[in-house]
Structure 1
Amino acid sequence: MAAPQDGPWLDDAAGRLVRPYTVSNGRTRPTAALDLLSMVMTTGALPAGQMGPEHTEVLGLIGSRPTSVAEVAAHLRLPAVVTKVLLSDLVDCGALTAKAPSFRTHNPTDRSLLEAVLDGLRRRL
């Protein structure tokens, strides 16, 4: 049976009881340009119209701190593309803002950037 924090949507033997394509209403392409490293943040505006429980969960998860698309997908236990569709719904209605990763303005193969990432990883390990 599902763990109490997972709610009725997960079953240990069967996995997710609601298929990802039903969460996104069969859509596979987000309307907003989102990368896995894009940062999303709530605006404080309430979504207009009918939103699903996953949309509400996303807003509660993000709160007022910037959160990456990848982190949201991991917490929701949904594929990244489904998460991007949900997030783009919230961006479209004004409940979220999205910011592209900052390395887009820099060369991602810049040696100093790669060395800084490596140094950070070494400090963590």
Structure 2
Amino acid sequence: MTEPATEHWEFTDHWPAVGCGQDAVAELRRRIAGGRAENWLRSSHGRQLAVVSNGVRAMVMLLAAPGDPGEHAVDPGAGGWSDGYLLANGQQDEYPDQDTVPLGRALHLVRHLLDTGTPPPDVPWSIDS
């Protein structure tokens, strides 16, 4: 029996492959601090991961394959809305805070997902349809 191939991730804008979750988080921090709010990673297994941040909170979406409605990390009980999520096409989005997570938690989630292949068990997810 052969083991499944290790999943590798890279930023979709042709950035070199990410060595580990820590490398991806460092690059995401750099990009977000530089004003790049929307970032996508793709895996060698066809999955896609989006991180869209306003600098305080982030929408983190995981798609199993292109065209999949995906799922996103949630913050149950968070009230209110946040704006300032600038998409690459120039569109400014706002999301309910319950559909986003604090930026530090989002980066923890990305690191765990890239290092283990699964989201951390302490972060709830909502399946999109």
TM-score (normalised: structure 2) = 0.23
Q: Which has the higher contact order (CA 8 A, sep 6+)?
A: 1
- Decide which structure has greater helix share: 1
TM-score (normalised: structure 1) = 0.24
- Decide which structure has greater strand share: 2
Question: Which has the larger Rg?
Answer: 1
